[in-house]
Amino acid sequence: MKKSTTTALFPILVALSELRTNWQVDEFLGFTEDQKFLLSLMKIAHGVEFDQDQIKTLVSKDINAINRFLKENGFDIALNGPIDLGVATIMDLVGQWLEKANEASVNNNGISYPAALVKSGIATSIVSLEGNMVIKINTTGNLTVFIEPNATERSGLDLFKHILAQSNTCSFKSSSSEVIIPMVSMNETPDINWMVGIKTVGNIDFTISEAVQQNKFKLNCDGVHAESAVALGLRKCVSVCKDEIVIDEPFNLWISGTDANGEYFPLFGAYLATDSWEK
């Protein structure tokens, strides 16, 4: 059975940026290909515009303060320690459909799943990676939802790299189509242990010794709600009737913000199979 999964690098990048701003970190050093790829995104992500209530960060030497911050904001993850410094970032993205969707259903392999029929703010791709259809749906805020139906199963950085490439490739035209999308509810703790070992260079040199993340996502008739929390523990220099487009197959979904030039950057992404399709 295909398994739904999420990817949210943006709050990780915000956490690293906070260390650079407030802890006199001059540079981050990555040693694996995954670490180097993450750090290569910092400059791009820095230009993404977001509302202050969508992102909040705490930096503290007190592990209890970090874990309390996570718990008070509804997350189950926690740092185990010991740490010399910790940082936690929480991202909360709410995008309401331009008009409330109608309840509907989709059928996959003979099983019916609750769905939302989205009626406006829709555009479809005229150019896309590998020629796959991509659907763009505007929301009432500063967020845009993209959906790639019948998607190949991917996870982690592979999923993020695909949706980033798709974001950079697609162009769209407005559509009068309505879109039926499975409702989604999921709560995941993706493995970001590959971050362990990233070093900082600056006033005090640290090594990331612990990295945890929790992602939550809901899609319903109101819109989308994506939440992500990341916590990093650091040690001082240690080694460590209209036409309807029906989405009835697993799909990629990502939520993007824009920079000052209007370029999209994925803030939250997911591969959504039937195991997460619920009201």
Q: Of 51, 7, 3, give the one whose Cα is nearest residue 255.
A: 7
Dihedral of the alpha carbons of 121, 3, 56, 143, in degrees to the nearest 10: -10
The full 3-state SS of 195-237, as one line of letters, equals HCCCEEEECCCEEEEEEEEEEEEEECCCEEEEEEEEEEEEEEC
For residue 24, pLDDT beyond 90: no
Taking the C-alpha atoms of residue 209 and residue 239, their distance in angstroms, rounded to an integer, is 8
pLDDT tens for 71-115 read 999 999 999 999 999 999 999 999 999 999 999 999 999 999 999
Residue 243 has what pLDDT? 57
Assess whether pLDDT exceeds 60 at residue 240: no
171 burial type by CB count under 10 A (0-12 exposed, 13-18 middle, 19+ buried): exposed
Structure tokens at 272: 């959504």
pLDDT band at 25 (very low <50, low <70, confident <90, very high): confident
Q: Tens digits of per-residue pLDDT, 32-47?
A: 999 999 999 998 888 8
Confidence of residue 239 (pLDDT cuts 50, 70, 90): very low
**φ/ψ (deg, to 5) at 68:** -65, -40
Task: Tell whether omega for the bond before 114 is within 30 degrees of 0, i.e. cis.
Answer: no
State residue 130's pLDDT score: 84
190-230: pLDDT as tens digits: 999 999 999 998 877 899 999 999 999 999 999 999 999 99
pLDDT, tens digit, for every residue of 169-196? 999 999 999 999 999 999 999 999 999 9
**Element (H or E) spanning 40, and its range?**
helix 33-40
pTM value? 0.87
Domains and CATH numbers, the chain: 5-94+186-236 (3.30.497.10), 96-184+242-276 (2.30.39.10)
157 Cα distance to chain centroid: 11
Across the strands, what pairs with 244?
178
- Distance separating alpha carbons of residues 66 and 61, to the nearest angstrom: 8
